[in-house]
Amino acid sequence: MCATCGCGGDGVRIGEAEHGHGHGHPESVVSDDGRSGDQSHSRRVELEVDLLAGNDALAGRNRRRLDAAGVRALNLMSSPGSGKTTLLERTVRELGAEVPCAVLEGDQETALDTDRIAAAGARAVQINTGAGCHLDAAMVARGLDALDPPPGSLVFVENVGNLVCPALFALGEHARVVIMSVTEGADKPLKYPHMFRTADLVLLTKVDLLPYVEFDVARWVGYAQRARPGVAVLEVSATRGDGLDGWFDWLRGLVTSPVTSPVTGSVTTAGSPPPPPAPG
Amino acid sequence: MHELGITQSVVDAVTDRLGPSPVRRVRLEIGRLSGVVPDAVRFCFELVTAGTTLEGAVLEIDEPEGEARCRTCGTAFATSEVLPLCACGSADVEVLGGASLRIREVELVAREGHPGDVRGAEVD
């Protein structure tokens, strides 16, 4: 396995894959620490190795590749069962004729979601992570090789359903969308702050179920704004159609917005203002 | 459980850079706002170092606090909270640090006559 990014030999399945990055790493500085009492010298080596630097570098490579093709990519993150795939099916059907859509589907196992997206009419590639709990930039690079998104398209990367681990791993995306449904607790943005504090858009799904569940939307909006001050918030129902025009407008804004935001690991972007793909 | 992968990347980075020299001690920096749990890394360390040059090494973890600045009143303060509140009551707080996740230092065992294969080494 690669020393810093974990790519290769990891049980991830994406068909044919390119292991395309070099293994140049920062130089070490060594100092002699003298004898330590037994039959050995002890030598201190200052490494100063960022453990996410390898992933961030690959994410930057993904981003440059996407930018060169005029492709915009979104990292969709949520807990399992929030309705990501249903939302994408409807998005592909209703926006696909105007903006070409392609999907990278991340799941531990099965190609069920890819089949659903393909049936809705979009190009889709499944990334099965095996035991893995998140997508990383190396997996997405291999997924993009297989997906080969057309110029000018919108690539939706549906991350593994998990509100914890994916937050740490930049993929090269232009925007992060955190999704949750009304059947989850309104306090979820405060319970999973690492995820919500780097969101560019927070999407509330299944609002057609609001009459049947106790979910305080105003309180939820307040919590989302606390986790990510100024973040855009949308409420949708992918089955009934509520709010989808706002979602599509937000996506159109992303497609037409100039590329300005840098690619970095998630934790280092915490607290920075969200990029402004707000619909006009 | 991303800590397993993170801990594996520690082992990979050390063995990739420092070759076959046995490792006595590893010092990491895991910021309190990094999203990585030091105890989980400790739990994984023994598992992933088995059979490597790091087997039996002592793991030390520095856990620096975050630095925050209130966008409302401008006050800067240290914090261990991911979503800190300023003393002025504002939740509009910019987090400036505490998210580091890196290897700081490794202590190698260099036996007599076997200084070890240390790439980029500068030994006095």
The residue of chain A nearest to residue B4, with distances taken between CA atoms, is A132
For A78, phi and psi rounded to 5 degrees?
-170, 175
Q: What is the mean pLDDT of each run of 10 residues along chain A (280 residues)?
A: 39 42 37 45 88 91 96 97 96 96 94 94 94 91 96 96 92 97 96 94 98 97 93 97 97 85 43 42
Q: Identify the residue whose tokens are 């969709």.
A: A76
Measured CA to CA, the distance from residue A25 to residue A209 in angstroms comes to: 51
Tell me if chain B has a CB within 8 Å of the CB of A243. Answer: no
The residue of chain B nearest to residue A33, with distances taken between CA atoms, is B107
Residues of A in contact with B4 (CB under 8 A): none
Domain locations in chain B as residue ranges = 2-65+98-108
- Which A positions 52-71 lie with beta carbon below 8 A of chain B? 52, 54
pLDDT of A181 reads 98
pLDDT of B111 reads 63
Residues of B in contact with A56 (CB under 8 A): none
At the topology level of CATH, where does A54-259 sit?
A: Rossmann fold (3.40.50)
Chain A: closest CA distance from residue B24 (Å): 8
Q: Please answer whether residues B28 and B57 qualify as being in contact, where contact means their C-beta atoms are separated by less than 8 angstroms.
A: no
Query: Binning pLDDT at 50, 70 and 90, where does residue B10 land?
Result: very high
How many secondary structure helices (H) and strands (E) does chain B include? 2, 6
pLDDT of A59 reads 96
pLDDT of B107 reads 95
Measured CA to CA, the distance from residue B8 to residue A133 in angstroms comes to: 15
Q: Please answer whether residues A237 and A206 qualify as being in contact, where contact means their C-beta atoms are separated by less than 8 angstroms.
A: yes
More confident residue, A212 or B99: A212
For A119, phi and psi rounded to 5 degrees?
-65, -30
pLDDT of A94 reads 97
Amino acid at site B77:
F
Summarised one tens digit per residue, pLDDT across range B67-82 is 999 999 999 999 999 8
Domain locations in chain A as residue ranges = 54-259
User: Is the ipTM beyond the 0.90 threshold?
Assistant: no
The three-state secondary structure class of B94 is strand
Residues of B in contact with A31 (CB under 8 A): 122-124
The three-state secondary structure class of A253 is helix
pLDDT of A11 reads 59
At the topology level of CATH, where does B2-65+98-108 sit?
A: hypothetical protein PF0899 fold (3.30.2320)
Q: Identify the residue whose tokens are 């398209």.
A: A153
Tell me if chain A has a CB within 8 Å of the CB of B15. Answer: yes
pLDDT of B92 reads 85
pLDDT of A40 reads 58
pLDDT at B48 over 50: yes
Summarised one tens digit per residue, pLDDT across range B101-120 is 999 999 998 765 555 445 44
C-beta atoms of A30 and B103 within 8 A: no
pLDDT of A131 reads 81
**Token pair in block for residue B82:** 């991911």
Amino acid at site A38:
D
